[in-house]
Copies of this chain bind each other. A is one copy, B any other.
Amino acid sequence: MVSAEESFEIICRGAEEILLKEELLERLKLGKPLRVKAGFDPTAPDLHLGHAVLLTKMRQFQDLGHHVMFLIGDFTGMIGDPSGKNETRPPLTREQVLENAETYRKQVFKILDPDKTQILFNSEWMDKFTSADLIKLAATHTVARMLERDDFHKRYTSGQSIAIHEFLYPLLMGYDSVVMKADIELGGTDQKFNLLMGRELQKHFKQKPQTVIMLPLLPGLDGIKKMSKSLGNYIGIDESAEDIFGKIMSISDETMWLYFELISRRSLTELKELREKVSAGMNPRDIKFLLAEEIVERFHNREEAIRARENFIARFREGALPENMPEVQVSAGENGISILHVIKAAGLTTSTSEAGRMIEQGAVRIDNERVTDKSTLLHSGKEIILQVGKRRFAKVVLS
């Protein structure tokens, strides 16, 4: 049995904002299963690791014994974009909605527990919601309140048009919470306004308002921009074991820790231990192996994860690393040492200025990651693989 305080810690993990935290703790203390809502768009069922942040949080709720509701917002999906301006949003047929739901199901059950997941379609209640009901719902909020939403505010003040039905959608999303009697709603930080609408409408309908848990947007492979299909910096849930493994191995150490926090099932205690190992000198690359294995195991299985790791190591050895690399020891001093000096010291160029030119040409890599900044400093206590051009390698021990 997990205590309310332990549950609270698990649920707060990685959350960017919780409204209200004290409400959440109170609810957990009741010791009853909570009704947890998360809404999904019925048009784009191709999921990537960014979606896994939300799904992982849902899974945590399931593991703690709560009731998780996976809501597919098919009602508006079947309307499409009524203005006709957005050609990427044609109205969906009921068949397409069910087909997309099936695609979702295949993917999300790699993370969620199928036995503990209720899949809902909001057309179930919205098809019975009359235009008179909608008018009454619209009367609960003011135009000014709606124009407070960031994107509406920006569009209105910059003279970009907002069609009136766009004011109705947040209300409909909030109304779903009323029908579903949600105790908790999960969503991205970009959904804050809509999530709070659920709270307001529940109050209007004399329900206890849902606690809103906002999760951060996962950065993509570049570690900077949010993961998205259109930016190409994503890891698809349906990708091959090898691709997922390789992509995770390509992220920066910093991004790795974020992924650990947001999508790993390792406990916070375990993560703390891993960080301590790195501080004690363990190569972060070896920790990244653990993350890549965990994710591949989740989306495929244990055997695939082991095979993907072996293949990755083999390819790394064959393709990129020569069997016998020269090993050089370089003293980094207290303040670190310029990469230009390390390249020259390792004998990979004859001068620091040549080293600089190679960096400018994008020909220098450390642990297979390209170096773009000539002023990069390297610090003591690490062992790196330094590469210049295609064939010049050195293992450098920074002391």
Interface residues of A (CB under 8 A from B): 75-76, 78-79, 81-83, 126-127, 129-136, 138-144, 146-147, 156, 159, 161-165, 167-168, 171
Contacts and interface: CB of A to CB of B under 8 A. Distances in A.
Given A131-B126, A131-B129, A134-B134, A139 B161 contact: no
Query: Which A-B residue pairs are the 4 nearest by beta carbons?
Result: A82-B139, A138-B165, A138-B164, A139-B165
Contacts of A138: 82, 163-165, 167-168
B131 A134 contact: yes
Copies of this chain, count: 2
Most chain B CB atoms below 10 A, which of A127, A134, A144: A134
A130 B132 contact: no
Most chain B CB atoms below 10 A, which of A135, A147, A168: A135
A1 B131 CA distance: 46
Contact of A136 (B82, B133, B135): B82
A169 to B, nearest CB: 8
Nearest to A78: B132
A129 B129 CA distance: 11
Contacts of A143: 143, 147, 156, 161-164, 167
Given A143-B156, A164-B168, 6 more contacts: A79-B135, A130-B131, A139-B164, A141-B163, A143-B162, A143-B163
Contacts of A129: 131
